[in-house]
Amino acid sequence: MKRKNFNKLPNRNPKMIKFNIYWIYAIIFLFFIGLQFFGTDITKKTNFRDFNNKMLQQQKVDKITIVNKEKVFVFIKKEFLSEEQFKDVYKQPFGNSVNLGPHYFFEIGSVETFNSDLKEAQKTFDYEDKISPTYETKKDVFGDILGWILPLVFFIGIWIFIMRRMSGGGAGGGQIFSIGKTKGKLVDKANIKVTFKDVAGLEGAKEEISEIVDFLKKPEKYTKLGGKIPRGAMLIGPPGTGKTLLAKAVAGEAKVPFFSLSGSDFVEMFVGVGASRVRDLFKQAKEKAPSIIFIDEIDAIGRARGKNAMTGSNDERENTLNQLLTEMDGFGTNTGVIVMAATNRADILDKALTRAGRFDRQIYVDLPDLVERKEIFKVHLKPIKLAKNIDVNFLARQTPGFSGADIANVCNEAALIAARTSKKTVGKQDFLDAVDRIVGGLEKKSKIISPNEKKTIAFHEAGHATVSWMLEHASPLVKVTIVPRGRSLGAAWYLPEERQLTTTEQMKDEICAALGGRAAESLFFNKVSTGALSDLEKVTKQAYAMVSIYGLSPKLGNISYYDSSGQNTGFTKPYSEERAKLIDSEVSSLIEEQYTRALKVLKENKKKVEELANSLLKNEVIFKDNLISIFGARKWKSYDEEKLEGGEKESS
């Protein structure tokens, strides 16, 4: 007989309401409030007329009590309680015992008037049957206590609420007396599903990170030779490259306690809280050593000190950073505790934080190259139902400069586009549409464009495409459309070559290709429009970089005014006015030279440019194949394309 796996049964109670001790206090408080306002007796309200006619004249009243000269309480004789008219006051509300009274009450204006009316009502009674009232004075002690307790409870509740909000709420800082506790979450290894297998690309970073994991698993392997385990590792790179994902993979691989928190978790409005949380974090990590501390976006507390003089010397953020520096490399021992951090602003970090002995390893996580993008696509395409014609190599070529997060977004967007059109699988065109949407924005087919404007846009984009196709180092065309996208009236997609170094010729070709649109407008219409704004902005920045940063101007020589430390505030220029004039002159000369060159290329291929523009006007979209049919195959291939084609041949 096989045992049933009850773990696979569906969870019928996925979320249970958690018990809170405050519920008991609330129930008790409401109980006493109910006692005060509703009471437990069943004394019924009546009036003097009914009291006189139905009770007093019938001689069924046992006694009368006047309380505080305001209310008259009536007691019915026991032998008459069983009658029908007294059934509502006969028994106690709980149980079956007889109600001993008072049974009825009514309010009076004054005691003198009531006594007069009572005397008048009993004038025909015998002396022994007449009832004289008794007088009582009662104080509502509970009501008085409640009167000053309720406001106190109210203000205490308001104070607790404000303190919880100010301290950030939640575990670690949510309670008044635990505001200095760390907000770091201890990640259970059972909850981490990410390993190094899920991290595609980033081979160099994974190799360095895997060494740290090995340090924690087998420390004696390194310490027996006299080596010391690294104190910390900092992951540096652009947003979306996989820094946090790499840290999750470390947590999944290390099988050791993993404390995860953000740099902003230390920031607090109260003085000394950040430093206190740092101390508490390292205290917990030492208790569970060997362990890993991961601080995401460490630049929130790791900025260079002394930059903001307005805050004064007692800056809370600086105090937090000082405590972190002390904990990482102070007199205390941090045996078995490795600190990992991630940031995309390494240039603004304090030098004391990045020195050896604190963050020993600085691991750069760059944007993936062509081969790495291919591997990333393979990971993100696993859960997607793909069509048979999907080529991963093609997708990798279409996404230059994309980060890992961008590629994940492309895959998700392609699946959404396919689902929107009720497709059963995600095809090649869905991925292309996803790339177009992410890069260029959503198509605005409803936007009204006049025929003359449309013609200008078509020749502008045809000029770009022609010049980039005819120059060796310019990026080849992938797709051009004159359908408005995002904020632009037309859009073009090019495949830039992924280089580590860029020469002067390559940068000049890129500038020339960018000026091809304006040159085409000038050549075919003898006038220019404002449509080249983004092109001119790009060209101007690139030309200034060539002259003042990269030292590619013969007249200025081998000089760079670039400040890699980021210490320059920008209020002063590191060169004279004469040198500024020379820089401006060189930039202007460089741009005009490439503009003339673009005009020359377009004049040599004028008929072909017209053919391309007319095709664009007719179809609204042109592709690489259209350029091949008009201009012929491009003479040059990028190194990445050759590398990828070589890999395809080897795999086949």
Query: Phi/psi of residue 480, each to 5°?
Result: -130, 135
Query: Chain centroid to CA 498: how far?
Result: 31
**Exactly one of 253, 297, 318, 461 is catalytic; which is it?**
461
Residue where the block lists tokens 């595609």? 200
Q: Which residues on neighbouring strands pair with residue 343, listed in sequence order?
A: 236
Do residues 214 and 250 touch, judged by C-beta distance below 8 A?
no
Pull the structure tokens for residue 209: 């990170």
Catalytic residue check, 461? yes
Type of residue numbered 90: Y
Type of residue numbered 644: L
Q: Is 566 left (phi over 0), alpha (psi -120 to 50) or beta?
A: left
Q: How far apart are alpha carbons 623 and 481 in whole angstroms?
A: 9
Residue where the block lists tokens 């101390």? 279
Do residues 208 and 233 touch, judged by C-beta distance below 8 A?
yes
Strand blocks (E) in 435-579: 477-481, 491-494
Do residues 418 and 430 touch, judged by C-beta distance below 8 A?
yes
Q: What burial class does residue 599 get, using C-beta atoms within 10 Å of its C-beta: 0-12 exposed, 13-18 middle, 19+ buried?
A: buried
**Cα-Cα-Cα-Cα dihedral of 511, 517, 523, 525, to 10°?**
-150
For Cα atoms 275, 291, 263, give the angle at the middle one, nearest 5 degrees: 35
Q: Name the packing angle between helices 504-514 and 516-525 (round to 10°).
A: 40
Residue where the block lists tokens 């292309």? 432
**Full DSSP string of 130-175:** ----EEE----HHHHHHHHHHHHHHHHHHHHHHHHHHTTSSTTTSS
Active site amino acids: 461
